[in-house]
Amino acid sequence: MTTNKQIHLVSRPQGEATVANFKLVEAPMPSLNDGQVLVRHHFLSLDPYMRGRMNESKSYAQPQPLGEVMIGGTVGEVVESRHEGFRPGDKVVGMGGWQEYSVVDAAHQGMLRKVDTTHIPLSAYLGAVGMPGVTAWYGLVKICEPKAGETVVVSAASGAVGGVVGQLAKARGCRAVGIAGGPDKCRYVVEELGFDACLDYKLHSDLKSLSTALWDACPSGIDGYFENVGGMILDAVMLRMNAFGRIALCGMISGYDGQPIPMQFPQLLLQSRLKLQGFIVSEHMQVWPEALKELGTLVATGKLKYRETVARGIEAAPEAFLGLLKGRNFGKQLVKLI
């Protein structure tokens, strides 16, 4: 190969993101310097956080630069190495971005990590045994702090993060209740992932309907809530939170287009003495080994279930990403590049 297909961000979205914000580019393959590794990507991860990075406004991370390869997690294979720690054929995970190949300065710790695919599929290192899985683990274990017998609710329950949250909660003796969009996703959350119940937010599309459904699904109230969406769903959950409940604020996908997200009952934070904590999983690298050990063991032994939606080819990445933001994917959204 002499060229490398890439997807660049070429404009900032005004409201909803569109395919016009991206551009397919063919770049020449660079030669390696000492300490560098050439990786051929097998899978590219698409994640909701990428939408926030497309904006120029202040956030927890720098905006995605225009005219450069779009950020993204990747798994693949070393094809050439000028670093003693990596050899051709090694399977690796990194942040190679929306492109077929990447050159990684492997001397910088954490830029590239070797993984074992003997019992865990390579793609799972972008999902249940990767950033989404660790995100689920951290928000549940460190913020929601579940105890046996408590009730944990998670929004976007059929997604790469939400599905892991509920299964980890069940493993800790909790009642797990999901919120997802559509009967197929809700059926999957209960029948395949093992949640106790799942509410269809499309069926319960207003605050009164959803809060009533939560009363039925959570007869003992809600002790922990893992938030991926925000808006009306957060309002409905807060109406059912028990005193001293804990809310892990992971994502607010309802506001990724830049619109305000009002909270109808902020007084409940005080009245119920709730803990609401936002977090970014990359700021807690000290827990990754512990989390990955549990997640890897559960996946390898078949005790942690997950589903993947796979688009084919780098050219499909923009459309697949926009579909993810609309909830069209089922489970983890990936792009297969080989």
| β-bridge mates for residue 199, sequence order | 179
Do 109 and 141 belong to one domain?
A: no
Do 139 and 178 belong to one domain?
A: yes
Average pLDDT, the chain: 94
Residue 62 DSSP one-character state: P
- Give the number of other CB atoms < 10 A from CB of residue 17: 22
Do 33 and 142 belong to one domain?
A: no
Read off the pLDDT of residues 268-327 as tens digits, 9 standing for 90 and up: 999 999 999 999 999 999 999 999 999 999 999 999 999 999 999 999 999 999 999 998
Please report, for the domain that includes residue 83, its CATH number.
3.90.180.10
Q: Please check whether residue 185 lies inside any domain of the structure.
A: yes
Do 145 and 161 belong to one domain?
A: yes
Do 103 and 171 belong to one domain?
A: no
d(CA 107, CA 25): 28
Confidence at residue 18, expressed as pLDDT on a 0 to 100 scale: 96
Mode of pairing for the β-strands spanning 275-278 and 308-312: unpaired
Q: Which of 45, 123, 124, 94 lies closest to 333 in space, CA to CA?
A: 45
Read off the pLDDT of residues 226-281 as tens digits, 9 standing for 90 and up: 999 999 999 999 999 999 999 999 988 877 777 788 899 999 999 999 999 999 99
d(CA 14, CA 11): 9
Do 92 and 123 belong to one domain?
A: yes
Helix (H) or strand (E) holding 222: strand 222-227
Do 148 and 263 belong to one domain?
A: yes
Amino acid occupying residue 102 = S
Q: Please check whether residue 301 lies inside any domain of the structure.
A: no
Confidence at residue 252, expressed as pLDDT on a 0 to 100 scale: 87
Do 56 and 159 belong to one domain?
A: no
Q: Please check whether residue 297 lies inside any domain of the structure.
A: no
Q: Please check whether residue 96 lies inside any domain of the structure.
A: yes
Which band of pLDDT confidence, cut at 50, 70 and 90, is reported for residue 30? confident
Do 161 and 243 belong to one domain?
A: yes
Do 23 and 115 belong to one domain?
A: yes
Read off the pLDDT of residues 65-89 as tens digits, 9 standing for 90 and up: 999 999 999 999 999 999 999 999 9
Q: Please check whether residue 221 lies inside any domain of the structure.
A: yes
- Host domain of residue 322: 3-127+306-336
pLDDT at 57 exceeding the cut of 90: no
* Entry pTM: 0.92
Please report, for the domain that includes residue 212, its CATH number.
3.40.50.720
Confidence at residue 317, expressed as pLDDT on a 0 to 100 scale: 98
Q: Please check whether residue 266 lies inside any domain of the structure.
A: yes
Q: Please check whether residue 41 lies inside any domain of the structure.
A: yes
Do 76 and 197 belong to one domain?
A: no
Confidence at residue 313, expressed as pLDDT on a 0 to 100 scale: 97
Read off the pLDDT of residues 135-183 as tens digits, 9 standing for 90 and up: 999 999 999 999 999 999 999 999 999 999 999 999 999 999 999 999 9
Do 315 and 238 belong to one domain?
A: no
Domain count, the chain: 2
Residue 194 DSSP one-character state: -
